[in-house]
Amino acid sequence: MNPPSLTSATPTAPLKLAGRCAVVTGASSGIGAAIAARFAAEGARVFNLDLAPSRDPVIEHLACDVSDHAVVAAALDALPVIDILVNNAGIAHIGTAETTSPADFERIFRINVAGVHHTLHAVLPKMRAAGRGVILNLCSVAAKIGIPDRFAYSMSKGAVLSMTLSVARDYVDKGIRCNCICPARIHTPFVDNFLAAHYPGREAEVFQKLEAAQPIGRMGTPIEIAALALYLCSDDAGFITGSAHDIDGGFTLLR
């Protein structure tokens, strides 16, 4: 089964995010870049909160380390209104509880967990004052099922899932929706770099094994994640909050 290609809104279709201001963390590459591009194509003004600049000239860059609370607050304070926040920035780690060093554990926590809190802390007052807003957190199937050698990463995504539910509950009566997406393996530059570093000369062989791990027979694509993100952040999903959406090619079916 081949992945879909990117399609922009048709000229006659109304733009789903026209006039909205969206902040996407980690939008310089991979899933974040795809989400930012899709949101911009649907009429949003999109800001990329990332250390690296966006490759897309349409996306505005706010240079920021999401693990630094003061820096995040200063960057977002310049935006008077934020209609949509997508917490996408995150890093991966391979290891068990035994092999994960305290330094690695702390690094995962600072970026994947504290980084989400930092943006929430800065954005929620703006949304509450406006009486509206949508928050989407990038979680993972690792938050729901045991995946080998992903101790720290699974910890961080479990926290993201819990934060999603907590924010949804606390702000459901304030016009603010909060959901998360739980992908399985998605083909991003991280996958290619990982294979090159750990399986030199065997990249194609191991890539095929990784694809076969999804019952649907392939990895997902950032474009597919962006399509779901657009739906959840648009008015089409106005009745959805406090939910975690698997997008995993059937990965969790066999667990």
Q: Which residues have a catalytic role annotated?
A: 153
Query: Shortest CA distance to 150 belongs to which of 142, 158, 161?
Result: 142
Nearest to 139 by CA among 112, 167, 169, 166: 112
Q: Which of these, 157, 121, 114, lies nearest to 137 by C-alpha position?
A: 157
Closest Cα to residue 132, out of 188, 172, 184? Answer: 172
Virtual torsion, Cα 235, 77, 31, 138, nearest 10 deg: -70
Q: To which H or E segment does residue 176 belong?
A: strand 176-183
